Structure 1
Amino acid sequence: MTGITGQDGGHLAELLHREGYRVFGLIRGQNNPRKASTQQQYPYVTLIEGDLTDFASLMRAIEISSPDEVYNLGAVSHVGYSFRNPVLTAEVTGKGVLNVLEAVRMSGLAETTRVYQASTSEMFGGLDYNRPGAGYAEDSLFHPRSPYGVAKLYGHWIAKNYRESYGMFVSCGILFNHEGERRGPEFVTRKITQSVARISLGLQDHIELGDLWPKRDWGYAGDYVRGMWQMLQHNEADDFVLASGTTHSVEEFLERAFLEVGITDWRPLVKQNPDFLRPAEVDVLLGDPSKAETVLGWRRDVDFPGLVSLMVKHDVTEQKSLLL
């Protein structure tokens, strides 16, 4: 698994361990500050040093682990950051996918190893519905609106190319926004829930955000990694959208988060910061998960209110513990 130190990596490591897998995680750099905490949190994971931009290290990781399944979750995954660092985003999020696929192929495991590629709803870009009134499906038009979305689209298409050209079992999960208590604080949902928790405890007096009107299809990360695993248990490699099929604005997320701590008059506590506005914003992202539900039997356990409640309660508890 690449991306072991990220939100999805942690959830997936736990799921694979429960299913009886021996789990290997690629971790970047010999002095990675997350190495010790990752090893402590997931002691059953064997960490291998490597980098998505270093083909030789990927070959070595494949040789050491001899994997039955590869989950490529590693990426420069923050949309805003990708505008500031587009070259790095292309190298890691785009070309890194090619490096993983080629490492599997060159290792002689193309016929036996199943590969999961983490694609994203950002490839759609919020434009050009080919089914008006419905969510984006696997065959919808792509129109990425950020360097991150463009890089992910390259990864998506090269994954499909290896599936079609070499007969490799490569499935792409086109996941819409999935959040949770392990989300990094640089992402808007976790920034909101951490700030709301701190405001409720008197540790912070306001929160600074960009636009509040964009709408997203939000779900819980723990549900979505189960879908990743189900894709590689299916008898055929394919592409699958994982989504909730509903949208909610950033403003709705804010309102519900503040209500969790009993604050109804929340607008004076929120300020707009121009630094958080993007050069090109995606208005609405709505997914259609019907294929995954029908073919894989995938289901979500956590709805939008449950997601916000779960995150706020976790962050209130966490912030309280920091005060002790």
Structure 2
Amino acid sequence: MTVALVTGATGQDGGYLVERLLAEGTEVHGLVRGEDLGGGPVPDGLVVHECDLGGPAADVAAVVDRVAPDELYNLGGVSSVAQSWAEPLLTTTVNGTAAVVLLEAARSTQERTGRPVRVVQAASAEIFGEPEHSPQDERTAIRPVSPYGAAKALAHHAVGIARARGQHATSLVLYNHESPRRPPSFVTRKITSTVAAIAAGRADRIVLGNLDARRDWGWAPDYVDAMVRAVRHDTPGDYVVATGEAHTVRDFVAAAFARAGVEDWERLVTVDQALVRPADPSLLVGDASRAREELGWAPTVGFAELVARMVDAEEPS
């Protein structure tokens, strides 16, 4: 039986990944912070290991050694770019340094057991910062403009170094991917939850930051599919995972109001400059050609359908 270890197992991506792996018959272990255990139901069959990626490296490495996984998915860490500005040191530790700890632990476990430990690192389009060209691919220069992007870049480079040492280590450069499981602190979920509330008469307006920021938004379970394909691919590498379509935050708002049946929505939106990030890339859109050609991966849910699913999943009136 395949044994998998997933960090961030209670997050959006971790939850979808754990459910998929369990359904396949994989023995799944989750590395979870104690404070996250009460955030929602833990899937039946998930073996939980209470451990903080920001804690002592020896504790994290001990979990890897004890589980001795065939597949290690590193999805844990600070998931908000906005939070990274408030907590840059924490972000560097859990999004960057922890990846190095996990890679070294995987190498050590592999040497001890004589069995390969395949690693997938969840990188981010934020590593590209303000790119010189669009769409971006695996050859795009890495020059982040946020603490979040810098930490993810550290982890991304660490994967490349581990691969050069012979490890089966892959970094997936994930573009924005959403679902109803996104916390309300994310702008996409803030939009869908507030729009649903406006449509139901529970709110009268939505307050947002930069409406012109453009992003490449995909469906989270599709991106989880890319993770599984990548870890089981014969050859490790770096892959951009994206839809190849860019939409503004304003587009997202318009699609959400349209799904909720609300017309003349512009008057219901207020822009607050305090919500605009210190540095916000103007256009991030990815070219996933390599993932399509080598992994056989492709997105299955388009932008309008993604927004509709999120609006439909909000609490009814």
TM-score category (smaller protein):
over 0.9
The residue identity in structure 1 corresponding to 2:66 is I
SS at match of 1:13: helix
Distance 1:282 1:178 in 2: 16
**Contact in 2 for aligned 1:52/1:99 (Cα 8 Å):** no
Report the counterpart of residue 13 of structure 1 in structure 2.
Answer: 18
The residue identity in structure 1 corresponding to 2:76 is G
Distance 2:218 2:237 in 1: 22
CA shift at 1:63, angstroms? 2.8
The residue identity in structure 1 corresponding to 2:118 is R
CA shift at 1:139, angstroms? 1.0
CA shift at 1:275, angstroms? 2.2
Distance 1:111 1:142 in 2: 33
Distance 1:57 1:295 in 2: 36
Question: Cα deviations across residues 155-190 of structure 1 (Å, max 9, x unaligned)?
Answer: 00011101102x110001001100011111111111
Distance 2:142 2:213 in 1: 18
Report the counterpart of residue 71 of structure 2 in structure 1.
Answer: 69
Distance 1:291 1:15 in 2: 24
- Structure 2 residue aligned with 1:83, among 74, 85, 95? 85
SS at match of 2:123: strand
Report the counterpart of residue 132 of structure 2 in structure 1.
Answer: 128
The residue identity in structure 1 corresponding to 2:143 is H
CA shift at 1:37, angstroms? 5.1
Report the counterpart of residue 43 of structure 1 in structure 2.
Answer: 44
Residues 218 and 256 of structure 1, relative CA distance in 2, 3 Å threshold: same
2:292 counterpart of 1:288: no
Question: Cα deviations across residues 196-234 of structure 1 (Å, max 9, x unaligned)?
Answer: 011111111111110100100000001110000000111
Report the counterpart of residue 164 of structure 1 in structure 2.
Answer: 164
**Contact in 1 for aligned 2:64/2:102 (Cα 8 Å):** no
SS at match of 2:239: strand
Distance 2:301 2:12 in 1: 16
Report the counterpart of residue 3 of structure 2 in structure 1.
Answer: none
The gaps in structure 1 that reach 5 residues or longer are: none
Report the counterpart of residue 183 of structure 2 in structure 1.
Answer: 184
CA shift at 1:248, angstroms? 0.4
TM-score, scaled relative to structure 2: 0.94
Q: CA RMSD in A?
A: 1.4
CA shift at 1:266, angstroms? 0.8
CA shift at 1:274, angstroms? 2.3
Report the counterpart of residue 245 of structure 2 in structure 1.
Answer: 246
2:148 counterpart of 1:143: no
Report the counterpart of residue 231 of structure 2 in structure 1.
Answer: 232
SS at match of 1:192: helix
Distance 2:28 2:21 in 1: 7
Distance 1:199 1:7 in 2: 25
CA shift at 1:81, angstroms? 0.9
Distance 1:233 1:145 in 2: 32
SS at match of 1:119: strand
The residue identity in structure 1 corresponding to 2:47 is T
The residue identity in structure 2 corresponding to 1:83 is W
CA shift at 1:272, angstroms? 1.3
Aligned residue-pair number: 309
Report the counterpart of residue 53 of structure 2 in structure 1.
Answer: 52
CA shift at 1:22, angstroms? 0.7
The residue identity in structure 2 corresponding to 1:43 is D
Residues 116 and 109 of structure 1, relative CA distance in 2, 3 Å threshold: farther
**Contact in 1 for aligned 2:244/2:287 (Cα 8 Å):** yes
CA shift at 1:111, angstroms? 5.5
Distance 1:267 1:205 in 2: 12
**Contact in 2 for aligned 1:55/1:103 (Cα 8 Å):** no
CA shift at 1:142, angstroms? 1.5
The residue identity in structure 2 corresponding to 1:137 is D
- Structure 2 residue aligned with 1:115, among 94, 116, 119? 119
SS at match of 2:234: coil
CA shift at 1:319, angstroms? 4.3
**Contact in 2 for aligned 1:110/1:168 (Cα 8 Å):** no
Report the counterpart of residue 174 of structure 1 in structure 2.
Answer: 173
